[in-house]
Amino acid sequence: MSFVEYGDTIKDGDTAIVFLGHESMFPVKVQHGTVTQTKYGVIRHSTDLIGKKYGSKVTCSKGGWVFILHPTPELWTMNLPHRTQILYSTDISIITMMLELKPGSIVCESGTGSGSLSHALIRTVAPTGHLYTVEFHQQRAEKAREEFQEHGVEHLVTVTNQDVCKNGFGVSNIADAVFLDIPSPWEAIGHAKSALKAEGGRICSFSPCIEQVQRTCLAMEEYGFTEINTLEILLRVYNVRTISLQIPDLGKAAEDNSSTGFDSSNPSNQGSLCINLQQGTVQFKSGVPLREMVGHTGYLTFATKS
């Protein structure tokens, strides 16, 4: 099992995703002789998982069933153990695009945190690229190193435990891109410039506060970066629902449906609209935004080394 390569069958030692529903899933490490408890009953790793194909429907001891999914960076982002605040797929997607990453790219990252972005970066630069990730906190760095090894990507990433603002990334003039997610990114801009290749490298800084963005932009200008711009990505989800609205009373009842431009004999119209003249309502499908939405996560500041 690897987060960058797909395997057909579940093996002992794999990390798999137990899918109970779109709002209910969790990771599990497959081990011979181990059992996992779910609300539908027990999953026995030896008989229910090992040797089965990923995507299989597994029946639990109480008669309920779950799906066992192959791990991906997207699924890991939704299920990883949170050691820090993490980046989600909405921001990750624009980061990988704006940094112009591709297989073979060399990327420097700080800090590693819970490894959400790290797994996506590794998948993007594989099989010939490399990620150099720096984490200030020793225990988080060690845990991230263990996870990369368990997920079969340790050959694509180097984890370093040090202060990037003081000691940099440990590499010089080789990186195609640098990503910063630290409290004071302006203090690491000089080290980021040293890590980037001679010309054309890209940098991205993630900051939750606009004051951090202002200081970071000033530092980027001071070190000669160009094309500096800041983005904020907001995700708004819509649900498709059946809406019922009253037909307005415009005076005289409409005796001729043609005056409304609606042809009831047309089968396509019959499927899209349901008019009840007796009740004076019309039903149709519409996209309705959720009452609550994910708001501000952070500002993404991009620039190019000139």
User: pLDDT for 39-85, tens place per residue?
Assistant: 999 999 999 999 999 999 999 999 899 999 999 999 999 999 999 99
pTM, rounded to two decimals: 0.85
Which pLDDT band, with edges at 50, 70 and 90, does 275 fall under? low
Strand ranges inside 78-201, DSSP E: 106-110, 130-135, 157-161, 177-180
114 is in an annotated binding site: yes
118 is in an annotated binding site: no
41 is in an annotated binding site: no
115 is in an annotated binding site: yes
Token code pair at residue 1: 């099992």
User: pLDDT for 182-239, tens place per residue?
Assistant: 999 999 999 999 999 988 899 999 999 999 999 999 999 999 999 999 999 988 889 8
User: Please, which residues have CB within 8 angstroms of residue 228's CB and are 6 or more apart in sequence?
Assistant: 217, 220, 221, 301, 302, 303
**Check whether domain 76-228+300-305 has CATH 3.20.20.70, yes or no:** no
290 is in an annotated binding site: no
255 is in an annotated binding site: no
272 is in an annotated binding site: no
Q: Where are the domains of the chain?
A: 9-71, 76-228+300-305
CATH of domain 9-71: 3.10.330.20
